[in-house]
Structure 1
Amino acid sequence: MGFFEKLKASLEKTRKSIFEGLGKLLKGKKIDQELLEQLEEKLIMADVGYETTQEILQKLEKENTEDALETLKKVLVEILSNGNQLVVPNAKPFVIMVVGVNGTGKTTSVAKLGAYFQNLGKTVVLAAADTFRAAAIEQLQEWGKRINCTVIAHSEGADPAAVAFDAVNHAKAKEKDVVIIDTAGRLHTKKNLMEELRKIHRVVGKVVENAPHEVLLVIDATTGQNGLVQAKVFKEMVNITGIILTKLDGTAKGGIALAIKKELGVPIKFIGVGESLEDFKPFDPTLFVEALLE
């Protein structure tokens, strides 16, 4: 199964519960008030969010072409586009910090991101800087064996910034291409977590200029609007440059992708649509919208 087929299958719950019948409803039709009301209800049910839904409806009304479905596709792609590519520095290593609440698939996403870069022919170092949970360290080490990748880890309770520092130093000394740092995700100790993340930021910036070059926030699509609330908290703590949207295959709330981009102003850079390494890919807005409205 190709990735587009997999993406379509993963968005099936969203498509069936929300967007099914939308093609019939909109294809070849001009926009009128009744159509807008029906669409509004469907978008809100898909967790697109009120604010984003209103913007979509306004754009549709303004465009008002002969084919509302094609116009809707164009509007959705427009909202989801801009900044989806990673910003890779010229000098090695490329340092990525991955943040997010525990349980969102953060540590697994770190490993899958590592495998993605390895497939591009890059050498990768993973940093087990979520030292608050022994399970997170062990999980990353297991992934390291599975994808044949270097993992830098200290013991449980160690200073996360020290782990990140060692990983970046190791990569620099060995001329490795990419460092991906897993971090803790305990929101109930927000102040400590903020200090921890900022310290990692400072420390790796001393080893490699402008590092971390990307700070990617992992959001579990199944949590819908709750994920958006978590994202806003993390955005207050650190300068997030992109989103990894996981577990799209387990939800009818795939519309959350639109709310994330619109309300956070942060681009989605990767999506996860299943368990295997191949189910983790760079986010393509056009592909996503086609799969959603197919």
Structure 2
Amino acid sequence: MNANLSEYITKYKAKIENEFDHYLRNLNMHSRLKESMLYSLEAGGKRLRPILMIASYEAYGQQVEKVLSSAIALEMIHTYSLIHDDLPAMDNDDLRRGKPTNHKMFDEATAILAGDALLTYSFEIIANDPLLTAEEKVNLIKMLASSSGPSGMVGGQFLDMEAENRPISLEEMERIHALKTGELVRTAILSGAMLGKATKEQLEHLTTFAYYLGLIFQVQDDILDVTGDEEKLGKPVGSDEDNQKSTYPKLLGIDGAIKQKETYAEKAKEALQKAGAASSALMDLTDYFSNRDH
């Protein structure tokens, strides 16, 4: 990672995490439920989705505070999905980011409700944002609901479960991950650019960029599950194989997965140039997504 991008990620990661206190610490609710929500929200993580939203906004807009609440809401939705993914009925994971998963730290019922609370509270945060117009709030809530719901992340997770224990094609795998992983990435990029007043044509090119960036993220995730460092990943390698998941290395081999990732990266960068954002942090983030080690 180049020094400028490292500083950029560090700066906004800290800004995002500082905001968690503002939104949750003083919330009037049961202390154990709040503790469970904060446990997963503050368990670490790269904060890539909110950082993507900020970077996309900054490619076209000036007042970064305008996008912060929406970025926090997006991270809450992502965190809810991780809590639920880890449950015994889903991936049945014991560790997340090197720590016990939420249902292991608390219990299954509390983990489910903590996820539900993070999901629903995210929409309340956007609805109460004083820096957004009524039209912007509606567009953001609609986009977030669509990308996280049955036609987005939840639908992709269901397709991913259906694909276990059977061979699938590259096209089917791309569809699964464009929904499961890519939809929140797409929302991060499009909502940030929308708030920054990107043009309709720019948003169309960014849609293409986001599609390939989401696939890049997933391919690298799959590669790291085979070749990664358990200490850096914060979870055991090989869990996809243990859970009979369909992955890029399983379908294409490690070398084939790397080559496929490089093809996605070329297409992503081409779309980013057409969107007039080649000099933005989004270009460096594309390389980071492709080469990250955890």
Q: Which has the higher helix share?
A: 2
Which one has a bigger Cα radius of gyration?
1
Q: Which has the higher strand share?
A: 1
TM over 0.5: no
TM-score normalised to structure 2 length: 0.27
Structure having greater relative contact order (Cα 8 Å, sep ≥ 6) = 1
